[in-house]
């Protein structure tokens, strides 16, 4: 059950802080760059806070005020707020007092056009929303050409050309005072530390990819691209190899191109799409009855990435690349919900002696898509009812047919789904045995060339 009252109530007070002097340029960026990503309601909330913040000095107002101005419910206000937080336009602080809660909203300035269009997540997100023609028009409008000053000479004067120190006695300045200097964000706030770089580097030797190539900037781009294209750290090893230049350096441009090429080769020729999945956190009441095993299993399947499910099925060992690619293909190419894909992976592996056959899995996936299966529970029920048919499909694709056992009506949760706290997990990752950079790169480039042809 969604407990919105634990997140935000109409009676909660709020305050606004504007650390910047916003301009008309910021308004254009919000309207043309950010509005297609988060929607009109989110930008309306931002503009309302902007307008109110210019006239309010540490005043407290109830959220009824925002509801009345925007003409929306408190849940809409909350959803718009968290979307602004996720896109880097708003920061929120909360304090609980005896008479209620107070929220402090600090507006962040939007990225300038150059930083926005160079960010791999935001640029791809915007391109998918507005289309290629509108995207090109925005680039032409906001990005100046590199040769605008051809034939001109810079004749600007410097500070020392105009001003000279005076011998008159003046007032002294204290340099010990501390000032809060708020800088405009130069990129989308993104916590790249959540990406498993240790797993990425386990398959890359020092001779293959030196540590000096893994700069902070390169790591941030790698993490963003892995999130955008939904690629596993093992898959990102191939991307890094493709992106290396002759001096074993990793540039942002080469990483973007290598990741796009690898995605087209292994997953889909269509670009990935970013969706807004921010929802109100679900909390369980204290006195609520404990979940049944099937409810725990459904919650696990709905909230766990397919790569993690494959790892759990393999008792903590890293899944092979082909299995991860198949799972990603079902999510990205067929737009299947994650919970449904996880049920499919569990069903196929546990019913076929841990053999994840692509044709068999895609045949069942096609059936579930025609049935318009949207949740893990629906997928489990359909798998139970159609079990005998799925066994026939499996036997039809096998040279030696086996008699299928009568399916049981109740699905049991495997023991390996629930790991004890503190249990040490095996990494299961092995070096990919790449000995030569050129050989590996040539192999990948050959596959890409074959795809283009």
Per-residue pLDDT of 173-206, as tens digits, reads 554 555 555 556 666 666 556 678 887 877 777 7
Domains and CATH numbers, the chain: 4-110 (1.10.10), 197-268 (no CATH), 293-395 (no CATH)
What percent of the chain has pLDDT above 90? 12
Backbone phi and psi for residue 102, each to the nearest 5 degrees, phi listed first? -125, 130
Give the mean pLDDT of 90-117: 90
Strand-strand pairing, 13-17 and 100-107: parallel
Q: What is the pLDDT of residues 106-160, one digit of tens each?
A: 999 999 898 898 888 888 888 888 888 999 998 888 876 666 677 788 888 877 7
Give the mean pLDDT of 37-53: 92
**Rounded mean pLDDT of the chain?**
76
What is the rounded distance in angstroms from the CA atom of residue 91 to the CA atom of residue 107?
A: 7
Length of the chain: 453
Other Cβ atoms closer than 10 A to 256: 20
Residue 192 pLDDT: 59
Question: How far, rounded to the nearest angstrom, does the alpha carbon of residue 136 sit from its chain's CA centroid?
Answer: 24
Confidence of residue 438 (pLDDT cuts 50, 70, 90): low
Residue 401 pLDDT: 45
Please enumerate in sequence order all residues whose Cβ is within 8 A of that of 416, keeping only pairs 6 or more positions apart, or say none: 312, 313, 315
Cβ atoms 120, 257 nearer than 8 A: no
Confidence of residue 237 (pLDDT cuts 50, 70, 90): confident
Q: What is the pLDDT of residues 1-29, one digit of tens each?
A: 345 667 888 888 999 998 878 889 999 99
What is the rounded distance in angstroms from the CA atom of residue 165 to the CA atom of residue 139?
A: 45
Residue 45 pLDDT: 95
Cβ atoms 106, 53 nearer than 8 A: no
What percent of the chain has pLDDT above 70? 74
Question: How far, rounded to the nearest angstrom, does the alpha carbon of residue 396 sit from its chain's CA centroid?
Answer: 40
Q: Assess whether pLDDT exceeds 90 at residue 94.
A: yes
Strand order in the sheet with 90-97: 61-62, 13-17, 100-107, 90-97
What is the rounded distance in angstroms from the CA atom of residue 25 to the CA atom of residue 288?
A: 51
Find the angle CA(294)-CA(300)-CA(302) to the nearest 5 degrees: 105
Tokens of residue 154, six digits: 């810079």
The highest-confidence range among 169-173, 225-229, 239-243, 351-355, by mean pLDDT, is 239-243
Q: What is the pLDDT of residues 391-423, one digit of tens each?
A: 777 777 664 444 444 454 444 333 433 444 444
Give the mean pLDDT of 372-390: 84
Other Cβ atoms closer than 10 A to 176: 4
Confidence of residue 60 (pLDDT cuts 50, 70, 90): confident
Cβ atoms 313, 296 nearer than 8 A: no
Between 74 and 161, the higher pLDDT residue: 74
């Amino acid at each position: 059950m969604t407990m919105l009252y634990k997140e935000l109530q109409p009676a909660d007070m709020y305050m606004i802080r504007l650390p910047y002097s916003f301009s008309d340029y910021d308004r254009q960026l919000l309207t043309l760059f950010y509005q297609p990503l988060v929607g009109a309601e989110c930008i309306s909330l931002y503009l309302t806070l902007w307008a109110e913040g210019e006239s309010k000095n540490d005043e407290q107002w109830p959220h009824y005020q925002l509801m009345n101005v925007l003409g929306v419910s408190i849940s809409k206000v909350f959803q718009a707020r968290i979307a602004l937080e996720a896109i880097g336009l708003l920061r929120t602080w909360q304090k609980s007092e005896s008479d209620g809660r107070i929220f402090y909203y600090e507006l962040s300035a939007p990225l300038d056009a150059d930083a926005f269009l160079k960010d791999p997540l935001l640029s791809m997100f915007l391109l998918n929303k507005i289309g290629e023609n509108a995207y090109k028009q925005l680039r032409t409008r906001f990005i100046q050409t590199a040769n605008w000053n051809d034939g001109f000479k810079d004749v600007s004067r410097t500070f020392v050309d105009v001003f000279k120190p005076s011998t008159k006695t003046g007032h002294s300045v204290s340099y010990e005072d501390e000032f809060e200097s708020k800088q405009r964000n130069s990129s989308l706030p993104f916590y790249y530390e959540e990406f498993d770089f240790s797993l990425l580097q386990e398959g890359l030797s020092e001779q293959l990819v030196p540590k000096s190539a893994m700069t902070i900037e390169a790591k941030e781009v790698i993490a963003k691209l892995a999130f955008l294209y939904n690629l596993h750290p093992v898959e990102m090893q191939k991307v890094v190899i493709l992106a290396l230049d002759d001096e074993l350096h990793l540039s942002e441009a080469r990483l973007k191109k290598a990741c796009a090429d690898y995605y087209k080769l292994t997953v889909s020729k269509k670009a990935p799409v970013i969706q807004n999945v921010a929802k109100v956190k679900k909390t369980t009441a204290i006195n609520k009855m404990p979940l049944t095993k099937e409810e725990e299993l459904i919650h696990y399947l709905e909230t766990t990435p397919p790569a993690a499910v494959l790892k759990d099925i393999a008792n903590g060992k890293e899944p092979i690349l082909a299995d991860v690619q198949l799972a990603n293909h079902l999510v990205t190419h067929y737009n299947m919900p994650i919970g449904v894909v996880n049920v499919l992976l569990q069903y196929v592996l546990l019913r076929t002696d841990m053999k994840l056959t692509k044709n068999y899995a895609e045949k069942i996936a096609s059936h579930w898509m025609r049935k318009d299966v949207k949740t893990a529970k629906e997928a489990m029920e359909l798998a139970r009812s159609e079990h005998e048919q799925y066994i026939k499909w499996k036997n039809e694709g096998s040279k030696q047919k086996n008699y299928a056992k009568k399916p049981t009506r109740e699905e049991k949760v495997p023991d390996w789904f629930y790991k004890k706290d503190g249990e040490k997990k095996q990494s299961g990752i092995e070096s990919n045995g790449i000995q030569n950079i050129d050989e590996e790169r040539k192999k990948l480039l050959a596959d890409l060339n074959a795809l283009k042809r």
